[in-house]
Amino acid sequence: MKRIVLILLVISLMLSISPVTSASNLIEEVDLVKEAAIISDLTDEHKHENELLKRIHTEVVNRNGLSLNENGQMEINVTAEDVSLDKEIFDKYLLKIERSNYLVSVGGVYFDNNFELVFLPLEEAVNDIYTKDMEKQKLNNILNEDVQRESSLREEIFAKNLIPLNIPPDLFAYQIVKANKQEIQDYYLVALYIEGNRPQALLATTALWISRITNQGIWDYKVQPGYTPHDKKWMAYTRSSQYPSTRTSEWFGNYNYGFTGRFLFSLSILYAGGDGAGIMWGNGFDSVEDKAAIKMGYDESY
């Protein structure tokens, strides 16, 4: 976890000197239709509804109508009829619970004794999300073992039949990083919907991103199962390339760093973060090749 704290210090420094997380920058990166719908729910026109949902929540809590499962997520044990509510407004309350549970499942937040959602401080949020990612990865690795065994068997069959295996496997890089960025966007939008506070939603989303791209994080592809070693070669498909080109797992990590990082930071800030993390981890400044991969990801993230 020491490495997470180190990159946390780097990103915190960048946040203190750069306004890249302003609303004007971020709004360009978010699905405007979704953003507009969420923002409309937070305007003065809808304050009455939001206050009503809070009163419903208080009533449900007072009736002991909520409990937490083993994963720390809320379960509701009452119906609209139990609390004498219109089904439409009660369904909106259920939707808010569902979205809150989503945040808890990802990490960085928890429910307190009054079943209120609490956003953890940045460092604690990073650690919480990282820990949950590692737990999920253990389960995924069980499935990956079967895949790896099948791959080894296939290679053995090819070898016996004298079929050369010098062509790198395909890597649909753009599709993977696009899905990764969507995770970041979804988390931000839900946090904004629940909290109604843009700075808090941005801070929570920054914690998610840090936990993923940090050393040994699930987006540190050069050390991930199936991607190791760092110089493993792939035929990578990107957004701008008509044909695949030979790339490495280390390149893919940098490409993803730039692609997903654009949602929160400028390119110069991402460069600084990569250099700072490299120095703290003893790897020195990013190479020209590293920066080129970061820029490629950043440029294709539109």
Interatomic CA distance for residues 198 and 201, integer angstroms: 5
145 confidence band (pLDDT: 50, 70, 90): low
SS3 247: strand
Q: Tell me which H or E stretch contains 76.
A: strand 74-76
> Which position has the token pair 């109508």?
65
Interatomic CA distance for residues 120 and 110, integer angstroms: 8
> Which position has the token pair 């539109």?
302
Amino acid at 25: N
**Are the C-beta atoms of residues 63 and 83 closer than 8 Å to each other?**
yes
Q: Which two structure tokens, joined as six digits, stand for 176?
A: 């993977």
Q: Could you read off the pLDDT of 96-123 as tens digits, one per residue?
A: 999 999 999 999 999 999 999 999 999 9
Interatomic CA distance for residues 277 and 160, integer angstroms: 45
More confident residue, 142 or 298: 298
- The Cα-based distances of 182 to 101, 261, 263, 301, 302 in angstroms read 18, 12, 10, 11, 12
Q: Could you read off the pLDDT of 208-233 as tens digits, one per residue?
A: 999 999 889 999 999 998 899 999 99
